[in-house]
Amino acid sequence: MFDAQIYSFKQPQMAPDGIGGVTQSLVDTQVAVYGWLDMINGTQGNAIQNAFVESSTHVLVTDGFASGVKTGMVTEADGKLYEVTFVDNPNHINHHLEIYLRYSGDDKGAN
């Protein structure tokens, strides 16, 4: 079995850029989880029924329950950024999370 990796989460924050626009920065949240990141292939019949899953490209399955992960947060893996689209606590048993993510580019700003 592959070892779980650590994933930390950041919150996007908008700030004025001084010339009438805004810039986005990522602020540390102190929220981190251990887990496994996997690509969603889009052929799973049940997944198509849910819009949040349809727009997701990856899922992060955590090794244990963690609170604090919210929709809209961002995590990074291997220089690639992923936006949280949905956080699922299966059956509400606080055993683990399934965090649905959408690839949003690399950490250099390219998509």
For the stretch 44-57, pLDDT in tens is: 555 444 666 668 89
Is the Cβ–Cβ distance between 5 and 34 less than 8 Å? yes
Given a cut of 80, is residue 79 above it in pLDDT?
yes
Q: How confident is the model at residue 13 (pLDDT cuts 50, 70, 90)?
A: very high
Rounded mean pLDDT, 89-96? 92
Is the Cβ–Cβ distance between 57 and 81 less than 8 Å? no
| Rounded Cα–Cα distance for residues 96 and 27 (Å) | 25
Rounded mean pLDDT, 67-76? 94
How confident is the model at residue 107, as a pLDDT?
Answer: 67
Task: Give the CATH superfamily of 5-106.
Answer: Bacteriophage SPP1 head-tail adaptor protein (2.40.10.270)
Domain residue limits, the chain: 5-106
For the stretch 18-66, pLDDT in tens is: 898 888 888 999 999 999 999 987 555 554 446 666 688 999 999 999 8
Burial (CB count <10 Å: 0-12, 13-18, 19+), residue 99 = buried
